[in-house]
Amino acid sequence: MSASLADIQSAMAKGLLHHKNEELEGFFNGDQEDLTARISVYRNNIFYSLANALADLYPVVQKLVGEEFFRALANRYVRKHPPAQAAMVYFGQDFPVFLAQDKACTDLLYLPDVARFELARQRAYHAADVESLSPQAMQEIGVERLLSSCLSLHPSLQILDSKWAARSIWQAHKTGQPRLEDIDLQDSQQSILIRPAYEVMVCAVDAATLALISAISEGAKLEAAIENTLEQHPELDVPQALALGFGNGFFTGIDIQQD
């Protein structure tokens, strides 16, 4: 009984990812030595291409650990998380979680958050293009109506709450040869990344503002979002937070709720 295409594809994936050539012997003609050589070339090309794709997505992570170390990480990652879709833009989404679990990165506690930062930039960059509300919209609608409304966030907006100085580490590596000793790695940082036009913007925010934007993203009325945030962060400067949001294109719509 001949094998189905699905069986052949499954055997190919298993054999290539886990170096199990015996899974493939029944599907190819030729002697064992020739088969091993051909499979090795194909396997090396796959791992090389996927490692390059991962490095393109996480260039700062690669700079932090070095190319050789990164290649080893990438090979282990590919075996556990091979591409699930043909579009490579979706490949590497689980890499930050993988870094947090990989034993080789045990002493690099900040590394997963740097990866999350880079992934957030990637997601912001590839998000849909939607026109943001202008700062004048906040003034035109009036305070009472604004408080009773739900605000729609821009689809590119990414919220990142890091226990480490992920933003500073990323920024330092974009401006030359950084010295990590000049950065307080344990400086927790909150960031909002957004692409309202052509370029991804990185907004440094405090914990209170991040909490407010998070509450808005969950669909709460603005008044409720503010009240809930103030319970946890009484230092919240509401006018400043809203001005930041409208000024940087965080919002794309205002849905006035009727009680």
Tens-digit pLDDT profile for residues 183-199: 899 999 999 999 999 99
Which residues pair with residue 2 across a beta bridge? none
pLDDT value of position 95: 97
| Helix (H/G/I), strand (E/B), else coil: 231 | helix
pLDDT value of position 142: 81
Distances (CA, A) of 189 to 8, 117, 124: 48, 11, 18
Asked if 196 and 154 count as a contact pair (C-beta separation under 8 A), the reply is: yes
pTM listed for this prediction: 0.87
pLDDT less than 50: residues of the chain? 1
pLDDT value of position 128: 94
pLDDT value of position 4: 75
